[in-house]
Amino acid sequence: MNKTNKIVDGWLVLQYQSGNEKALALLVKRWHKKLCSKAYWVIKDKDASKDIAQESWKTIMNKIHRLEDPNRFGSWAITIVYRKSIDFINKNKKENDKLHQYHYDKGVIANGEQIDNDDEKKAILSAVNSLPEHHQMVINLFYVEEYSLKEIGDILNISIGTVKSRLFHAREKLKAKIKYK
């Protein structure tokens, strides 16, 4: 997450906490699509992801005055969306196994370079999608969404050590899966 964006978000949070209603409108404008995207990333249902984002905004509005570090608004908001998405999955688990699968809309980045070869991209996406859900999440948050280890820990409510461990094991599994293809 860009440091400048964190500062702007932090300032907007402080403004809203001080009673400036327009600051909330700006936060919504800056974050609503991202929150919908995060919900969709977890549940793979466009309509439900919009509902989850709306519910998340209600929670954000009710609890934003308790946010101690306004510069952490982004990871805090995404944590709310993530948890509401997981609740949705748990409530609707029986309906469809697709809710647990990841499908990246954009190309996976390997060694810092965009993958051009469609076959390679498909192989990597297939390998990532075959990982356990907790490994898929850390791979997506770290490489695609470019969150820091600390932010990932906050979003998933796990320690930095656990984030590092999951990334390591996910990479090892990906290496093994891609070698055999």
pLDDT in tens, 67-85: 989 999 998 999 999 989 8
Cα–Cα distance for residue pair 175/42, rounded to 1 Å? 24
Pairing of strands 109-110, 113-114: antiparallel
Mean pLDDT, rounded, of the chain = 82
For residue 115, pLDDT beyond 80: no
Structure tokens given for 51:
């509902």
State pTM to two decimals: 0.59
Residues of the chain with CATH 1.10.1740.10: 1-95
What pLDDT does residue 117 have? 60
Sort residue 19 into left (φ over 0), alpha (ψ -120 to 50) or beta: left
The architecture that CATH gives domain 1-95 is Orthogonal Bundle (1.10)
Residues of the chain with CATH 1.10.10.10: 101-181
What pLDDT does residue 116 have? 52
Average pLDDT of the segment spanning 77-106: 65
- For the domain 101-181, what is the CATH code? 1.10.10.10
